[in-house]
C-alpha cells in the first residue's frame, strides 16, 4: 500500500491505495498556523492499526514552502552573484543580503577575470556576523563552467551551514531566473529541513520505516532525502496533485480542463490526451520568476469557503476567505452555505439553520427569497469559475504550448471536456454542464482525488548535456559531470550519454527502474566556424523522465473508478 497526503488550504487529504483500490481515506482540518502538526496527525491517523510492512512508501504534497514565499516569511539568506560586464545584477536583486562579486566566465566557459578571494571572505564574514546560515552562489555562465561557483563554495564553506550552487539547482542558462531559483532554495531550506526531520521522526516513533517522497511542481516525485538539497522543488506541488489525480480518468484523444474546487481556491490545468501541459520556463510565484519546472496551472480566489458579499448592489464572491462556512461555525456566508440552503449537501456535521441566517441578509439586499439568493450565489460561483477557465485557455493559446511530449507550434487549445474534483465537485459539475458549452464530469473519489494523484505519481528528473567537439569535452554541470570526448563525437553519442546520465539521476532520486519513461526535450547541433573552416560542433541535449503515474497504476485506478 502507498500513502498519499495532500495539504490543502482548508483540509488535508490522506489516502491509502493498494491492490484493492482505495483502501482508506481521511480528512483532517488544515491548521495553517501549524502545518507540521497537520501533516503528522494525518500520517498517524491513516496508518493506525496498519502493519508497517504492508506500507510500501509515502508521497507527500505540502504547502509549507509555497506559504513561506507567498506570505513573505522566508528565512534570511545570502546570495553571491558573479555576473561580469554587460549585465547589471542589481536588476535582479532578491534581498538585502545580495552581493555582486568579482570574477567573469564567458558564454563558452572561458575564464575572463579571476575571483577575488579576499572580497569573498570579507562578505562571508559579514554575513555570518549578521546571523546568515544559508547562502546561494550564482555565476552567469556557471552552466558552461562551474569553476567559479565551486571556488567560492570552497572559500565560504567554513562560514555557513548550507550552500546552494546555481549550476546544481538548474542547468538552464537564464541567469535572472537562476538567481531567483537559487535564492528561494536557500531561503526555504530551514522550514523544509524542519518538516523533513519532523516527518522522519514521527514515522520512526510509529515504527514505520518506509521510503518517503515529495511531490514536485511538475507532477513528479523525488525522494524525501534528496529534497533536502533541492527544497524549492516542493513549491506549488498542490496544484500538480490535482492534475495527477485526474490523469488516469481523463478522456483519451481529447483536451480536458481539470478543476480542483477547494475551500480557498479553485486550481485549474489542461490535459492533452491525458498529458499535462508544462509551464514554458518555470514557476512564477510572488515577485520571483524561477526555473523550477511546473505544470501549467492557474488559481483563482473562489472556493467553497470564499466570502459572499454585496458591493454597490452587486453580488460578489471571494477572493478572500475568513474561515469555514457558517454551517461549520464560520462568521460570514459562503458558497458552501448556499449549498446547504439548497439541500445540495447531506453533511450531517453542518448546520443548515446557520447557513440560512447567513444568506438571509444577502437575500434581503437582493430582493429575493433565501432559496433564490442561495441559487444566485451558487450560479455565480459556477459562472466565475467557467469565465476563469476560458481566460486560462486564452492565456495559454497566446504563447507556445508545452506538453510533456513536445512543443506544439501554433497549436490552439479547444477543450470541450471538464473534470472536477474537490469537496463540492458533484454539485458544481452538474450545474456547470447545464450553463456552458462543456461536457463536465467528476473525477472518481473526487473529494480525495488529489491525494490519490499524489500517491500514484512517479519520480521525475531532467538532464542537460553540452558537448564541444573543438574542446573535446562533454559536460552536465548540474550533475557535476565532465568527460573528455573524441573530435568525431556526434549528436547520437550525446543522446546515448544523456540517457545514461538521466537513468543514473532518476535512480539516485528515488525512481523505480520500471517507471523510467525518458524522452528528449531538446537536441541541437551548431557548427563552429573560424576563417571559413569548420573547427568543431557545439551539441546541446536536454532529456527528462516525464511526469506520469507509476507502472501498475491502472490496477489501482480501475478499482477506484468501479467503487
SS (H, E, C) 506-529: HHHCCCCHHHCCEEEEEEEEEEEE
Q: Are strands 134-139 and 78-82 parallel, antiparallel or unpaired?
A: parallel
* 326 in any annotated domain: no
- φ, ψ at 12 (rounded to 5°): -105, 125
Helix (H) or strand (E) holding 316: strand 314-317
* 291 in any annotated domain: no
As given in the structure block, the three cell numbers for residue 138 are 550564482
One domain for residues 177 and 213:
yes
pLDDT of residue 402: 53
* 282 in any annotated domain: no
One domain for residues 6 and 104:
yes
One domain for residues 554 and 505:
no
One domain for residues 450 and 482:
no
Q: How many whole angstroms separate alpha carbon 22 and alpha carbon 230? A: 31
* 210 in any annotated domain: yes
Instruction: Give Dmax (Cα) for the chain.
Output: 85
pLDDT of residue 408: 52
One domain for residues 491 and 556:
no
Nearest Cα residue to 256 out of 420, 463, 30: 420
List, for residues 89-101, the tens digit of each pLDDT value.
889 999 999 999 9
* 293 in any annotated domain: no
One domain for residues 521 and 560:
no
One domain for residues 124 and 216:
yes
Q: How many whole angstroms separate alpha carbon 521 and alpha carbon 526? A: 17
pLDDT of residue 53: 84
* 376 in any annotated domain: no
Q: Which residue range(s) make up the domain with 505? A: 461-545
For residue 211, the 8-state DSSP code is -
One domain for residues 171 and 207:
yes
pLDDT of residue 352: 93
* 340 in any annotated domain: no
Q: How many whole angstroms separate alpha carbon 67 and alpha carbon 468? A: 42
* 286 in any annotated domain: no
- Domains contained in the chain, number: 2
pLDDT of residue 202: 75
One domain for residues 217 and 150:
yes
Identify the segments of the chain with pLDDT beneath 70: 9, 280, 399-411, 531
pLDDT of residue 429: 93
One domain for residues 454 and 495:
no
Q: How many whole angstroms separate alpha carbon 58 and alpha carbon 77? A: 31
The number of CA neighbours under 13 Å toward the Cβ of 356 is 7
As given in the structure block, the three cell numbers for residue 58 are 509515502
Is the separation of the CB atoms in 369 and 363 below 8 Å?
Answer: yes
Task: Provide CB contacts within 8 A for 205, sequence distance 6+.
Answer: none
pLDDT of residue 406: 45
pLDDT of residue 8: 75
One domain for residues 455 and 474:
no
As given in the structure block, the three cell numbers for residue 40 are 503528522
As given in the structure block, the three cell numbers for residue 389 are 477557465
One domain for residues 93 and 183:
yes
Amino acid at each position: 500500500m502507498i500513502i498519499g497526503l495532500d495539504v490543502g488550504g482548508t483540509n488535508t487529504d490522506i489516502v491509502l491505495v493498494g491492490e484493492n483500490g482505495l483502501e482508506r481515506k481521511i480528512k483532517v482540518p488544515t491548521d495553517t498556523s501549524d502545518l507540521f502538526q497537520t501533516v503528522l496527525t494525518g500520517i498517524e491517523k491513516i496508518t493506525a492499526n496498519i502493519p508497517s510492512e504492508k506500507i510500501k512508501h509515502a508521497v507527500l504534497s505540502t504547502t509549507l514552502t509555497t506559504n513561506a514565499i507567498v506570505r513573505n516569511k522566508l528565512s534570511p539568506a545570502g546570495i553571491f552573484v558573479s555576473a561580469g560586464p554587460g549585465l547589471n545584477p542589481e536588476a535582479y536583486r532578491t534581498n538585502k543580503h545580495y552581493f555582486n562579486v568579482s570574477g567573469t566566465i564567458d558564454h563558452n566557459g572561458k575564464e575572463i577575470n579571476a575571483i577575488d578571494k579576499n572580497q569573498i571572505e570579507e562578505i562571508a564574514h559579514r554575513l555570518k556576523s549578521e546571523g546568515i546560515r544559508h547562502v546561494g552562489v550564482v555565476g552567469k555562465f556557471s552552466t558552461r563552467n562551474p569553476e567559479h561557483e565551486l571556488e567560492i563554495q570552497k572559500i565560504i564553506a567554513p562560514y555557513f551551514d548550507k550552500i546552494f550552487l546555481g549550476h546544481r539547482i538548474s542547468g538552464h542558462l537564464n541567469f535572472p531566473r537562476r538567481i531567483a531559483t537559487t535564492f528561494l532554495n536557500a531561503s526555504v531550506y530551514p522550514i523544509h529541513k524542519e518538516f523533513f526531520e519532523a516527518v522522519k521522526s514521527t514515522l520512526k516513533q510509529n515504527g514505520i520505516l518506509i521510503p518517503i517522497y515529495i511531490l514536485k511542481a511538475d507532477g513528479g516525485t523525488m525522494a524525501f532525502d534528496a529534497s533536502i538539497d533541492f527544497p524549492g522543488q516542493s513549491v506549488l506541488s498542490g496544484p500538480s496533485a490535482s492534475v495527477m489525480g485526474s490523469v488516469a480518468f481523463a478522456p483519451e484523444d481529447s483536451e480536458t480542463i481539470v478543476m480542483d474546487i477547494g475551500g480557498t481556491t479553485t486550481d485549474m490545468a489542461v490535459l492533452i490526451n491525458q498529458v499535462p501541459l508544462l509551464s514554458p520556463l518555470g514557476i512564477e510565484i510572488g515577485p520571483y520568476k524561477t526555473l523550477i519546472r511546473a505544470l501549467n496551472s492557474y488559481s483563482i480566489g473562489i472556493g467553497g469557503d470564499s466570502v459572499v458579499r454585496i458591493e454597490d448592489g452587486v453580488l460578489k464572491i471571494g477572493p478572500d476567505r475568513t474561515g469555514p462556512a457558517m454551517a461549520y461555525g464560520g462568521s460570514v456566508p459562503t458558497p458552501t452555505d448556499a449549498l446547504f440552503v439548497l439541500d445540495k449537501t447531506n453533511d450531517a456535521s453542518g448546520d443548515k439553520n446557520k447557513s440560512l441566517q447567513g444568506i438571509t441578509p444577502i437575500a434581503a439586499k437582493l430582493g429575493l427569497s433565501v432559496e433564490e439568493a442561495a441559487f444566485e450565489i451558487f450560479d455565480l460561483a459556477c459562472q466565475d469559475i467557467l469565465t476563469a477557465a476560458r481566460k486560462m485557455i486564452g492565456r495559454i493559446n497566446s504563447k507556445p504550448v508545452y506538453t510533456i511530449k513536445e512543443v506544439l507550434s501554433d497549436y490552439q487549445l479547444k477543450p470541450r471536456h471538464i473534470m472536477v474534483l474537490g469537496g463540492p465537485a458533484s454539485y458544481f459539475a452538474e450545474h456547470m454542464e447545464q450553463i456552458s458549452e462543456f461536457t463536465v464530469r467528476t473525477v472518481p473519489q473526487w473529494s480525495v482525488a488529489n491525494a490519490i494523484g499524489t500517491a500514484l505519481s512517479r519520480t521525475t528528473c531532467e538532464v542537460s548535456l553540452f558537448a564541444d567537439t573543438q574542446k573535446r569535452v562533454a559536460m552536465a554541470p548540474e550533475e557535476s559531470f565532465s568527460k573528455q570526448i573524441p573530435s568525431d563525437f556526434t549528436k547520437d553519442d550525446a543522446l546515448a550519454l544523456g540517457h545514461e546520465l538521466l537513468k543514473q539521476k532518476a535512480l539516485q532520486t528515488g525512481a523505480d527502474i520500471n517507471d523510467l519513461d525518458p524522452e528528449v526535450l531538446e537536441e541541437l547541433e551548431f557548427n563552429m566556424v573560424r576563417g571559413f573552416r569548420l573547427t568543431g560542433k557545439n551539441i546541446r541535449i536536454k532529456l527528462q523522465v516525464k511526469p506520469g503515474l507509476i507502472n501498475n497504476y491502472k490496477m489501482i485506478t480501475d478499482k477506484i473508478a468501479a467503487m
